[in-house]
Amino acid sequence: MAQVHNDKYKPFPQVKLTDRQWPGKTIDKAPIWMSTDLRDGNQALFEPMNQQKKMEMFETLCRIGFKEIEIAFPSASETEFNFVRGLIEGGHIPDDVTIEVLTQAREHLIRRTFESLRGARRAIIHIYNATCPAFRDFVFGMSKAEVIKMAVDAVHLIRQLAAEMPETEIVLEYSPELFTATELEFAKEVCDAVTAAWGATPQRKVILNLPATVEVATPNVYADQIEWMHRHLARRDSVLISVHPHNDRGTAIAAAELGLMAGADRVEGCLFGNGERTGNVDLVTLALNLHTQGVDPQLDFSDINNVARVYEHCTQLPIHPRHPYAGDLVFTAFSGSHQDAIKKGFAAQKADATWAVPYLPIDPADVGRSYDSIIRVNSQSGKGGISYIMEHDYGIVMPRRLQVEFSGVVQRHADSHGGEISGEEIWQLFADTYLNAGAQVRYREHHLFEEGGQQAIRLGVDINGVAHNLNGVGNGPINAAMHALTSAGLQAQVRSYEERSMVPAGDDGNASAVAFIEMAASGCGECYGVGIDSNIVTASIKALVSGINRLPQSAPQKTA
Ligand code: KIV
Ligand code: ZN
């Protein structure tokens, strides 16, 4: 249904800012972060966190490096009140962390909030009242002057209660709730009244938090609103502008980033975007976005899996597998062209150089993720991904033409079986195709010796189950072995030969040799044979045998 907007109650008021500066700005330092996981985030849970979970979350937030943490809405419930008391009385608040508590701008709630803070070293009292026309007219039935008075009365009371509790340094935060739906001139009027009532100075700043309580416009509109406030607020040097974007339109990250470009000093949000409805802005993504731009976010997500586990445990909410930076699949590529580029990017990446691997905006190691699952194979994958897994998991660097040949084998398997193919399955396909190829010829043993200045070999093989001792001479062991096999009627030519050492990942120095021989026989096409052994000559002879077994019509002409 189309929404018809009366001018006064339209979702967001017009912003008159023709000379906006924010589009030309970049973010070059971390903002002041404020985690509201234990308040806004907690309010949005099916099952709010109990004391134990709140404590676990609090400790995790401290470990990540948050210096301002909104821990509760103490006047809302005993649980909330007791949590604040527990943190203070238990001495759990690190010296460099300031706790924050929320209350509506109402006298009895403010008094109760102060009681919860007794004994704290420093605390931010966060008061709010809604300022937009719809709230003024329909919810509160208040004039603009009454809304201002409500905020200012609350500030006076807080000043008085703070003076009675000198052992606690009280910082004031004020939020004109539904700021984005409030006329800017009026939002400024309320905020300026609060700043004046608090007696804010550059040494004793007031935090003015300008929330997108409900996200109602594109992020550039929020940026305009923030820049307008940044340029018009009184005593700007005595004010910290804070943004608090919710994610109703799915653009909270952009809103926060543009808000910072527009002059904000501080950001409030939650881990992984928890919070009312579609959530608060996701502080993990915001921080790691900074990291990708070379700006130190001053938050430590170097063990993101641990943060994710704590979050899921405390909130009982899952993290989407494609959640930026943290989801299980975000460092995984299935598509063949992506895999190919990633594999080449990895090969070119120098340890101390700027990270530049295609399709991976950050080095997974920066957030404590391994490279193990970066490339996963399904029917969309190509030779790049398959050869990456063979190399990374099994230490086998395949020649390019073998990559093409083997990817066809994997592709056929994927097409017929569907779904993802694990590294183990790829290895099994490789072993079945090359290492245990066919049954006509089986290598048993060999003995090398010199004969008339040439390389001679005595080669023990089973051909169709019958043991043979074959002799051959040549200009090297492979040539001699080929001649020995040809003497048994096995027709094939060697087209190319490569050998490599093979160090499977995690195997310390336990190297084997792998030989790749590309073979052809007239009328039979070409194919690869592969042999693996701790001895390179044995690996090569096994590769010859593998190739002969794989050539479609190279079955022996004679068996004795
Ligand atoms: O979203 C919001 O407006 C809030 C206020 C209480 C700051 O959470
Ligand atoms: Zn909120």
Domain 441-550 has CATH 3.30.160.270: yes
CA distance 122 to 345: 49
- The answer on pLDDT for 555 being more than 70 is no
What backbone phi and psi angles, to 5 degrees, belong to 119? 95, -5
Nearest to 538, CA basis, from 451, 455, 446, 454:
446
Q: Which two tokens stand for residue 251?
A: 């653009």
| Mean pLDDT for the chain overall | 93
CA distances from 265 to 227, 256, 539, 546 (A): 12, 11, 65, 67
User: How distant is the alpha carbon of residue 451 from its chain centre?
Assistant: 64
Distance from Cα 281 to the centre of ligand 1, integer Å: 12
pLDDT of residue 279: 98
Banded model confidence at residue 163, pLDDT cuts 50, 70, 90? very high
Amino acid letter, residue 211: P
Q: 215 near 245, Cβ under 8 Å?
A: yes
Which-ligand-closest: CA of 269?
A: 2
pTM, to two decimals: 0.82
- Region 67-87: mean pLDDT is 97
Cα 455-456-462 angle, rounded to 5 deg: 135
Summarised one tens digit per residue, pLDDT across range 224-263 is: 999 999 999 999 999 999 999 999 999 999 999 999 999 9
For residue 40 and ligand 1, the question of a CB distance below 6 A is answered with: yes
Which atom of ligand 1 has the smallest separation from the CA of 276?
Answer: 1
| pLDDT of 4 over the 90 cut | no
Dig out the tokens for 302 from the structure.
């170097």
For CA atoms 505, 511, 512, 518, the dihedral sign is positive
Superfamily classification of domain 22-315: Aldolase class I (3.20.20.70)
| DSSP-derived pairing of the beta strands 454-463 and 266-269 | unpaired
The CATH class of the 336-435 domain is: mainly alpha
CB 283 within 8 A of CB 33: yes
Domain locations in the chain as residue ranges: 22-315, 336-435, 441-550
* Mean of pLDDT values over 18-45: 98
By most ligand atoms within 8 Å of CB, the mutation choice from 241, 246, 248, 281 for ligand 1 is 246
Residue 393 has pLDDT above 80, yes or no: yes
- When pLDDT is cut at 50, 70 and 90, the band that residue 559 belongs to is very low
| Mean pLDDT, residues 496-520 taken together | 80
Where residue 11 falls among pLDDT bands split at 50, 70, 90?
A: confident
**Which residue's C-alpha comes closest to atom 2 of ligand 1?**
213
* Alpha-carbon span 521 to 81, nearest angstrom: 83
**135 contacts 87 by C-beta, under 8 angstroms:** no
Q: Whose CA is nearest to atom 7 of ligand 1?
A: 175
**Is the torsion defined by CA of 50, 176, 171, 265 positive or negative?**
positive
Quick one: 229 exposed, middle or buried, by C-beta within 10 A (0-12, 13-18, 19+)? buried
In whole angstroms, what is the distance from residue 381 CA to residue 99 CA?
Answer: 50
Q: What is the pLDDT of residues 81-124, one digit of tens each?
A: 999 999 999 999 999 999 999 999 999 999 999 999 999 999 99
Confidence band for 385, pLDDT divided at 50, 70 and 90: confident
Is the per-residue pLDDT at 508 higher than 70? no
- Bridge-based pairing of strands 266-269 and 441-451 is unpaired
pLDDT at 191 over 70: yes
Distance between CA atoms of residues 138 and 37, nearest Å: 30
Q: How far is CA 355 from the centre of its chain?
A: 15
Domains 22-315 and 441-550 share a fold: no
**Strands 493-502 and 169-177, sheet pairing:** unpaired
Adjacent-strand bridge partners of 175: 128
Ligand 1 pocket check for 131: Cβ under 6 Å: no
Q: Is 500 in the pocket of ligand 1 (CB under 6 A)?
A: no
Angle 78-89/51-64 helices, nearest 10 degrees? 50
Tokens of 7: 């001018």
Q: What is the mean pLDDT of residues 347-361?
A: 93
The encoded tokens of residue 186 equal 């009026």
CA of 105 to the centre of ligand 1 (A): 13
pLDDT at residue 297, rounded to an integer: 98
Q: Which of 164-168, 176-180, 518-522 has the lowest mean pLDDT?
A: 518-522
| DSSP secondary structure of 501-549 | EE--TT-SS--EEEEEEEEEETTTEEEEEEEEESSHHHHHHHHHHHHHH
Ligand 1 touching residue 177 (CB < 6 A): yes
- Amino acid letter, 208: L
* CA-175 nearest atom, ligand 1: 7
Answer whether residue 14 shows pLDDT above 90: no
Q: Does residue 173 have its Cβ closer than 6 Å to ligand 1?
A: no
Question: How far is Cα 68 from Cα 381, in angstroms, rounded to an integer?
Answer: 46
Question: What is the mean pLDDT of the segment spanning 125-143?
Answer: 96
Q: Which of 166-175, 479-488, 547-556 has the largest mean confidence?
A: 166-175
Of all ligands present, the nearest one to the C-alpha of 281 is: 2
Is residue 75 a contact partner of residue 126, using CB atoms and an 8 Å limit? no
Q: What is the dihedral of CA 50, 54, 56, 57, to 10 degrees?
A: 140
Tell me the pLDDT tens digit for each residue of 362-374: 999 999 998 777 8
Q: Which atom of ligand 1 is nearest to 246's Cα?
A: 1
**What is the C-alpha separation between 235 and 193, in angstroms, rounded?**
11
Nearest ligand, CA of residue 275? Answer: 2
Q: What angle do CA 337, 339, 343 make, to 5 degrees?
A: 120
